[in-house]
Amino acid sequence: CSVISGRPSHGIIVNTTPLERRRIKEALARAAMAYDVLFIDLGAGIEANVIDFVDLSDIVLLVVKPEPTSIMDAYAVVKALPFALRSRIVITPNMVQAANEAETLIRQFGGVLRRFLQAEPRSLGFVRSDASVSLAIRRQQPIATCFPASSAAVDIKALADRILVDQFVPRPVTA
């Protein structure tokens, strides 16, 4: 496991020329060959420059909080994606109180995406709201390290496991 971290806030990807983005994409493609899974965190919202990087992804993990601004940002991201990439969307509710809140968000938001953007999103899990997340951030440590039994850490682990299974289990071929 390795982490390549970009600058927070006005990230390096947002303020790049087409040539620089191409070089970054090529470097990421080379790095991906050394790993089973490569995560690229593109942050909240969407910039035109960022869309260039989504096509590197097998899945687009769309993290959505049950708040109007988060839902609007997520909708804008999907709307900005080329049609072919919309099939890679995995809706991931974050900071929900319980499974039923996550299921409602997935059902309602997924319905909007199907109706207006012809997207067929899936979901592989959710992350519950947990005060331990703020504490881990203040400690500048991963939640799985400092609070491995917390509900958020357990949910993130389950989500990661489902993503791995989803990516490495062959899908049936339909004729």
pLDDT digits (tens, 9 = 90+) for 68-116: 999 998 998 899 888 888 888 999 999 999 999 999 999 999 999 999 9
What distances in angstroms separate CA 131 from CA 106, 123, 135, 150, 151, one per listed residue? 23, 24, 7, 9, 9
Per residue in 3-53, pLDDT tens?
Answer: 665 555 455 566 678 888 888 888 888 888 888 777 777 766 666 666 777
Question: What number of H helices and E strands is found in the chain?
Answer: 7, 4
CA distances from 66 to 18, 96, 100, 108, 130 (A): 35, 7, 12, 11, 14
